[in-house]
Every structure is written in structure tokens, then in C-alpha cells.
Amino acid sequence: MKPVLIKTRLASVEDAADLSKVHRASWLNAYSGILNGPALREAIAKRNPAWWRSAVEKLNAEPVAIGQFYGGRRETASRSQLLVLEYEKRIVGYANFGGSRRNYPPQIAERWGEIYELYLLPEFQGVGLGKILFNGTRSYLKKMGYTALVVWALEANDHGKEFYEAMGGEPFVRSHEIFGGSQAPTIGYRWV
């Protein structure tokens, strides 16, 4: 029996079409019935292959500041990263991550990283691949010097909340996102 090849790696511009497909399928699966139809269609349409190509080119052009932290401060600004998950050489998921976009109490942790997005094709969910992608992303964040992690999930996204709780996340803060002019409540999960 041939072993199954599963790996994570940093994204390249050649992945743009696959990233667009994963985004589209996972957003339709996760947010249909949660976000209003026009807002969902607009969010999906914006992330076409050209958008992904540009985003990956920009990420790859920025300097990396892995491990360059002195006295609790970054020597240079670290950039976000985009990790893809391959199953048998097919991209089936991705995670975008970097420094936290918000400030959290320094007494909990000195440096907060954030997973901005973590998505898998629906047919690859529930079989352990999300855990591989999540753990690979956490590993990169630790190498970047982040001592704590936050991930935001829409409050109405039960599947996402269950996943982050199963991964050991603790709900600790609430906020909201705006989609199509409407507020969608969110929950921030932390790992410290």
C-alpha cells in the first residue's frame, strides 16, 4: 500500500488558482446562511486567481523577520505568511498568519501572533488535515517569536468554533466584523 503524501509549505504565485478554489469552496460551505448572499458573493468574487497572485507576490517580496527580536521588540517588521496544505500534491487548504492585528493584555503574553485565515476544501474537513495545517501554522508563528496565539471565528460558525475549541483554544474576547454593511459577531480564541 502506497503511503499518502501530506505536507505543508509556503505558498508560491503558481498556487493562485488553487488558493482561489479553496477560498471559494470553503467560504460557500462555512458562511452560506450566516452571511447575506450579496456579501458572501462579493467576498468570494474579490479573491479570484489574480487577487491571490498579487497577494502572494506581495508576501514573498516583503522581508522576513523570523527570530529577529531584541528586548521584546522587533528589529524589523515581520510579515504575514501564507502556508498551503497539500494532499497528494493537490492544494486542499491554506492558512494566512502573522502578528496580531489587535493589542491584548501584555500580562497574558508578551507577543501575540494571529491566524487570520485557516480554510480547507469541505471534502477534506473532519479527517485530521485541519489539525496538521493548524499545528504547522503554530510552528511557524513560534519561529517568528510569537508566544501566544489568537484566532477569530464568526459566532454563528459552529463548525469553526468547534474546531478551535478541539485544538485547545479558549474563548476570551468578543468583537464583530462587517460584511455587506451588517455586523457579524465574532469570538477570539487564545492559546498561551
In the chain, the domains with their CATH numbers are: 6-191 (3.40.630.30)
Cα dihedral: 125, 131, 135, 141 (round 10):
40
Say which DSSP state 14 is in: G
Mean pLDDT score, 11-39 = 96
Mean pLDDT estimate for the chain: 89
pLDDT of residue 118: 98
Least confident of 71-80, 98-107, 109-118: 71-80
First to last CA, the chain: 40
> Whole-angstrom Cα distance, residue 4 to residue 89?
10
* Most confident by average pLDDT, 9-23, 73-87, 109-123, 177-191: 9-23
Residue with cell 494571529: 114
Question: Does residue 125 surpass a pLDDT of 70?
Answer: yes
Mean pLDDT score, 138-146 = 94
Helix (H) or strand (E) run with residue 173 in it: strand 170-179
The region, left, alpha or beta by phi > 0 then psi within -120 to 50, assigned to residue 114 is beta
Identify whether the C-beta of residue 44 lies closer than 8 Å to the C-beta of residue 31: no
Listed residue (9, 188, 165, 61) closest to 112, CA to CA: 188
